[in-house]
A and B are shown apart, each in its own frame.
Chain A
């Protein structure tokens, strides 16, 4: 499988704080990677840089052939719309819009909207009967499933999930993880930040961070290139 993510000596500084310090690794297409580590270790910073939400202080972050570090504001905006599907711990749905409209919003910023396709995406995550519900009318698990449908709707090259089950109870956690497993089996490339070792073990590989460094890689296929 071709390489989808290639990080080369990535560094990110916030003032005097070095959130990422020389991080290098590679992810092939179709892999499910768990990024683990304690709070403040740089996991979310890495996800933000790979997703084009932030830019590195130094180094390269190449996603599907695009060096995110070299993109301007407009380029980053387009990059996010076309290549990335985000799943956030806090769901981050637009409270004014219904479930289907939240999914269509991603379509709108990508290209054109297709309500039928958005409905099918919701049916796929088991929310066919919640299409016209507002986020406030949905449970946490249902909201996260809407976020999953939204992340998938534009067929992104990379799904970035930041603690996708962090706000869910056990039952809903299982549903969302089931969806991620399904996406993985369909060949999607997933980078998932998690604290939970049990969830991390579901991934093909685990990358562990501490103080902005990549400290450990687990699973046989992992080929970390420590700086």
Chain B
């Protein structure tokens, strides 16, 4: 009978609840969208930040490596040993991982930074580079190179142009596969497979090893810590600007979202409060009658609270569905890819809306003062 009463009251009073229902569904929609965004945006932003390149760099001790500058490292180390060490720390979120050798070679008697790496991995490090021509897809390609936009302009290069590089008394004859536009220092560099640079410089080693690790800041920090423990003879460092920018932005976004969720909860509670205050006045007669039939106030208010709770849960569910669709659409508009609905947002939204509607039902306390004799007398 309890639920029968609850649903009959809900059914017959839905007009009275219209404003509260609208507030609950609207509030739940925005909260659900924000929560989905909060959870999804971390991945999206991490993905966005990963397009900025590596966020972990491994170098020999006491070497202050200027990665982007591409200056030659004074201390080199063997990549095979390091690779074994890195692979001993498995991490599913690694996007790209590659050794880098920076040398300053000469082209037409002018110095130019040459970067030897794994070209297949470089593509994963730098997915945003614009390419005119072809990427070097094979690690066995010892003749091809990619040149930065500035280098191409300086030496009048375009795809399929020939390029002669010299280092000491050694020479490398290369063909330009493509011209890359990176919008940064990379535009001043030439990229080749690692053995090409090693052979030209006659160096059996690398300058640094770079890793682009995905996942949240916490995941990256954890991976960094494990690498540090596993590779005590190396310096394992985050690339600070990227890590800090990522952390700060995520922190601000979270603060913004939490503030908005709290604000919406308060506004929804106020709206429900108004409806409940009106409803409490309207139901005084009903409460007087129920009391005259032997209903205790706790039992009667229990029926009304269940009614409000059902309203909150139903509104929360509808809002969670609408909010997921909203966040999906917002993901497409803002990030260019959809933010998939997160299942955990549904119970959180529903529980929040039930709590907020129950908080808004505080005016029902007034019903405790109803005297059945007064009500039945028509007062």
Contacts and interface: CB of A to CB of B under 8 A. Distances in A.
A associates with B: yes
Nearest to B12: A96
Interface residues on chain B, size class: 20 to 34
Nearest to A44: B377
Nearest to B9: A96
A107 B1 contact: yes
B69 interface: no
B84 interface: no
Contacts of B289: 92, 94
Nearest to B285: A92
Contact of A53 (B295, B296, B299, B373): B373
B292 A104 contact: no
Contact of B292 (A80, A82, A96, A110): A80
Interface residues on chain A, size class: 20 to 34
A44 B9 CA distance: 30
Given A97-B5, A101-B4, A81 B294 contact: yes
A74 B298 CA distance: 10
A25 interface: no
A109 B293 contact: yes
B8 interface: yes
A51 B296 CA distance: 15
Contacts of A120: none
A179 to B, nearest CB: 19
A172 interface: no
Interface string B333-348: 0000000000000000
A105 B13 contact: no
Given A101-B4, A104-B1, A108-B5, A80 B293 contact: yes
A78 B371 CA distance: 15
A110 B373 contact: no
B372 interface: yes
Contacts of A48: 373, 376
B291 A77 contact: yes
B155 interface: no
B292 A105 contact: no
B8 A96 contact: yes
A204 interface: no
B377 A106 contact: no
B376 A106 contact: no
A32 interface: no
A113 interface: yes
Contacts of B1: 104-105, 107-108, 113
Question: Main SS of chain A's interface residues?
Answer: helix
Nearest to A48: B373
A77 B295 contact: yes
B376 A53 contact: yes
A123 interface: no
Interface in B246-302: 286, 289-296, 299
Interface string A69-102: 0000010011111101010101010111100010
Nearest to A108: B1
A54 interface: yes
Interface string A13-54: 000000000000000000000000000000010001001011
Interface in A99-142: 101, 104-110, 113
A81 to B, nearest CB: 2
Contacts of A84: 294
A75 to B, nearest CB: 11
Contacts of A104: 1, 4
A101 B292 contact: no
Given A48-B373, A88-B376, A96-B9, A53 B2 contact: no
A53 B291 CA distance: 9
A75 B208 CA distance: 84
Contacts of B293: 80-81, 86, 105-106, 109, 150
Nearest to A89: B376
Nearest to A118: B1
A189 to B, nearest CB: 18
Contacts of A92: 289, 292, 376
Nearest to A95: B12
A94 B2 contact: no
A44 B377 CA distance: 9
Contacts of B296: 74, 77, 109
Nearest to A154: B294
29 contacts: A44-B377, A48-B376, A51-B292, A53-B372, A54-B371, A77-B295, A80-B292, A80-B293, A81-B295, A84-B294, A86-B292, A90-B376, A92-B292, A92-B376, A94-B286, A94-B289, A96-B8, A96-B9, A96-B11, A96-B12, A101-B4, A104-B1, A105-B1, A105-B290, A107-B1, A108-B1, A109-B290, A109-B299, A150-B293
Interface of B: 1-2, 4-5, 8-9, 11-13, 286, 289-296, 299, 371-373, 376-378
Given A54-B371, A96-B11, A109-B296, 18 more contacts: A44-B377, A48-B373, A48-B376, A53-B376, A74-B296, A77-B295, A84-B294, A92-B376, A96-B8, A96-B13, A101-B4, A101-B8, A104-B4, A105-B1, A106-B294, A108-B2, A108-B295, A109-B294
